Amino acid sequence: MSRTISTSTGKSYGVKRVCLAWDQARSTAYARKQRSAGASGSHPPAKRGPKPEVSDEELLKLIRADLKASPFQGEGHRKVWMRLRYVQKVRVGRKRVLRIMRENNLLSPRRSPQGEANKHDGTITTDAPNVLWGTDGAKVFTLAEGWVWAFVAVEHWSAECVGLHVTKIGNRFAALEPISQGLTKHYGSVDKDVARGLSLRMDHGPQYTADDFINQVRYWGINTSFAFVSEPETNGVSERFIRTMKEQAVYGRVFRNVQEVREALSNFVTLYNEQWLLEKNRGRSPSQLRQDWLLSEHLLEAA
């Protein structure tokens, strides 16, 4: 239509006038023309600009030869490009080397954990109390004393917080304190082998891998159960309790010293154990679930 001769002017209408009359963008007309030309067998226009000195096929051969000759393993495209550019004097762009290596699966693979995969069935709760406890620590900021530590021990069966210790120095001895509190509360003492049969889930923090911590836990008869590396969900009961504690008692508050943090978290733990309703406890608080368990055990013994 744009090449049609006007009877009044004797000139062609032109693409601009035709697109204006049909209310169409000229880019659309040119794009349709280009697609129709490609469908008819004509080749699309080549990339503009100067041609590279080395074609993609030749560059791929050079890259493969460089990787084969390199004494190192797992090198990325930067090392390959630097050797081609500065050692072999091949003028090539770094991003072009990256593109070709990516298209041909020559990039170094991501680092992955070595050895056998950890076998975890995804369940960390128990069917009875005093089978598995979890422990972890968190830091809370204060205006006068800076960061302070809060260590907790949590029952995996009911998510009850059996121990809390807030201190300025978060060493291995401070991490033992909530375990000691839990033993005193539910076992009646901290004597040798008092908690035989109980396991303690913890991460690989320096407090929990210290010899003093491990030896003391074993003195109580507790089996150590470390969470899997890079899988914090295997210590998820303690992690979830700390998150709840922060959301309910830490976030949005300003603490002046460690004593204020200790009072706030102690009040929360008491309220949590008595009134925090959990779905896995069938709508009961941790303390209520333990009371029901003790009552049922007492009835069974009486029967």
Look at residue 159 in the predicted model and tell me its pLDDT.
95
Look at residue 112 in the predicted model and tell me its pLDDT.
58
Look at residue 141 in the predicted model and tell me its pLDDT.
97
Look at residue 30 in the predicted model and tell me its pLDDT.
82
Residue 151 phi/psi, 5° resolution?
-105, 140
Look at residue 74 in the predicted model and tell me its pLDDT.
73
Look at residue 84 in the predicted model and tell me its pLDDT.
92
The list of the chain residues with pLDDT below 70 reads: 1-4, 6-10, 38-47, 110-122, 302-303
Strands laid side by side in the 132-142 sheet = 161-167, 146-155, 132-142, 199-202, 223-226
Look at residue 298 in the predicted model and tell me its pLDDT.
76
Which residues, 6+ apart, have CB-to-CB distance to 276 below 8 Å? 244, 285, 286
Q: Computed over its alpha carbons, how large is the radius of gyration of the chain?
A: 35
Instruction: For the chain, give every residue range classified as CATH 3.30.420.10.
Output: 132-302
Predicted model pTM? 0.62
Look at residue 1 in the predicted model and tell me its pLDDT.
59
Look at residue 45 in the predicted model and tell me its pLDDT.
61
Look at residue 100 in the predicted model and tell me its pLDDT.
93
pLDDT in tens, 39-52: 555 555 666 777 88
Look at residue 186 in the predicted model and tell me its pLDDT.
95
Look at residue 72 in the predicted model and tell me its pLDDT.
78
C-alpha closest to that of 241 among 140, 153, 170: 153
DSSP, collapsed to helix, strand or coil, labels residue 297 as helix
What are the C-alpha distances in Å from 190 to residues 156, 217, 220, 290? Answer: 20, 10, 7, 21
Look at residue 124 in the predicted model and tell me its pLDDT.
87
Look at residue 94 in the predicted model and tell me its pLDDT.
92
Look at residue 296 in the predicted model and tell me its pLDDT.
87
Right CATH for 132-302 from 1.10.10.10, 3.30.420.10, 3.40.640.10, 3.30.43.10: 3.30.420.10
Look at residue 139 in the predicted model and tell me its pLDDT.
97
